[in-house]
Amino acid sequence: MTGSTTTTTPTVKELLISMDTKDLVVQTETKKGCCLSGLVIMKMIKKKQQAYSKYIYSMYEILQDQAMVAFCIALFLFSLGAFPPVLFIEDVAQSEGLIEEVSVIPLVSIGAIATCVGKLVLGMLVDLKWINSIYLYGFTMFAGGLALFLIPITKTYVGLQILTAVLGFFSGNWSLTSYITTKIVGLDRLTQAHGILMFFGGFGIMLGPPIVGWFFDWTQS
């Protein structure tokens, strides 16, 4: 018995329909992939926004504390007024005609060494139970301000050396900021609160020298 073999050849129309179907499937899969990628990106953006919103709200809560606001203002003013004299103290000595009495160690170096010692000593003092950290910090600011007031009336280079050392020592109160911040806002918010403080302190340091320069140009003193 002899069988016959039948071969089916697809028509051109069927081939076109098949190609269109494949293209549609590919486009659909591509759109699905793009949609999934877009959803993933949107989720990541929302997570970032939530994190930033939470951080900003936390900063807002921290700045609602009056003690924290007062601390920020105090640090800003201290940085604004105490940092420039250390930079320009040699110019003060020169303007007073004391440049011939310059010692081996410059005034700026004396201030830097005294600041290192101050950070160490004040850091140890604040650990003593019978010392109030707030009062200690307030005293450092008062003593530093008093040294600044005495600089214009000092007429000897030795006097400038002593005042520079005093100002540098009490400028070491930066070592107290973390301890006091913890007492104000607690350990959980220390990192955020300390960052806010560093912003105010850095802003004061940045503005200090230009303001002193403008004041000198205005008063010539």
Written as one letter, the residue type at 215 is F
Between 117 and 28, residue with greater pLDDT:
117
Tens digits of residue pLDDT in 95-105: 777 665 556 67
For 179, the domain range is 65-219
* Segment 70-99 mean pLDDT: 80
Angle between helices 157-170 and 133-150 (to 10 degrees): 160
* Residue 23 forms part of a structural domain: yes
Contact 173, 140 (CB under 8 A): yes
Q: How far out from the chain centre does Cα 81 lie? A: 19
Q: Where are the alpha helices (DSSP H) in the chain?
A: 12-62, 66-95, 107-125, 133-150, 157-170, 177-185, 190-219
- Structural domains in the chain (count): 2
47 falls in which pLDDT band (50, 70, 90)? low
3 falls in which pLDDT band (50, 70, 90)? very low
Tens digits of residue pLDDT in 49-61: 666 677 677 777 8
* Segment 173-188 mean pLDDT: 86
* Residue 79 forms part of a structural domain: yes
Q: State whether 42 and 124 are in the same domain.
A: no
Tens digits of residue pLDDT in 143-177: 988 988 888 888 888 888 899 899 999 988 888 88
